């Protein structure tokens, strides 16, 4: 084997070992997320539908956990990172009203809304798995509401660059 790593078809050496309890926890998190998605998309609480969803979510969670384990990915999450997610439903509702208002003005009067690039201060953090996970969650959460899309975080200025579909007053 060369210094460049294993050749195609050769097994990779695992850099860390994940205990079975941690793998079960990862599977459970995947199952809860996927089952929640099933209930939202299926829009039924009938027992047979829930059982089918539970089975499909269990199988998909198994595949997701195995893929993550085989790829030796490490996902580090802190509970305190989820607290700002409590604001997401309000942001989605507010931005939906803004975007639909702009759509109505466009259809009714022909007004073209101004879009804008804005920056928000954020802490870039380090390049550990926890730091990378935090940045991914920041960018993903900031892109959920329909009026804003996060383009990335600039480590030099510690700002997140966002595109707003409809420019908000005062920004």
Provide the whole-model pTM.
0.57
Between CA 140 and CA 101 the distance in angstroms is 24
pLDDT tens digit string along 4-23? 555 555 565 656 677 888 88
Burial category of 151 from C-beta neighbours within 10 Å (exposed 0-12, middle 13-18, buried 19 and up):
middle
**Residue 2 clears pLDDT 70, i.e. is over it:** no
DSSP secondary-structure letter at 84? G
Domain assignments of the chain as residue spans, ordered by start: 1-74, 79-164
**Residue 122 clears pLDDT 90, i.e. is over it:** yes
- Specify the length of the chain in residues: 171
pLDDT tens digit string along 144-155? 999 999 999 999
Secondary structure of residue 170 in the 3-state scheme: coil
φ, ψ for residue 167, nearest 5 deg: -65, 130
Between CA 65 and CA 29 the distance in angstroms is 10
**Residue 104 clears pLDDT 90, i.e. is over it:** yes
Tokens encoding 129: 């798995």
């Amino acid at each position: 084997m060369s210094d460049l790593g294993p050749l195609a078809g050769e097994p990779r050496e695992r850099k860390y070992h994940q205990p079975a309890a941690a793998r079960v926890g990862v599977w459970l998190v995947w199952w809860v997320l996927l089952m929640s998605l099933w209930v939202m998309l299926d829009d039924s609480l009938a027992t047979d539908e829930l059982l089918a969803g539970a089975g499909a979510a269990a199988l998909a969670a198994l595949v997701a956990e195995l893929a993550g384990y085989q790829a030796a990915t490490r996902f580090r999450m802190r509970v305190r990172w989820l607290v700002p997610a409590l604001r997401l439903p309000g942001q989605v509702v507010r931005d939906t009203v803004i975007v639909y208002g702009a759509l109505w003005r466009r259809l009714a009067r022909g007004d073209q809304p101004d879009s804008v690039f804005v920056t928000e201060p954020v802490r870039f953090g380090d390049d550990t798995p926890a730091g990378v996970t935090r940045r991914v969650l920041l960018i993903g959460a900031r892109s959920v509401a329909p009026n804003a899309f996060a383009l990335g975080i600039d480590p030099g200025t510690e700002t997140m660059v966002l595109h707003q579909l409809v420019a908000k007053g005062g920004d």
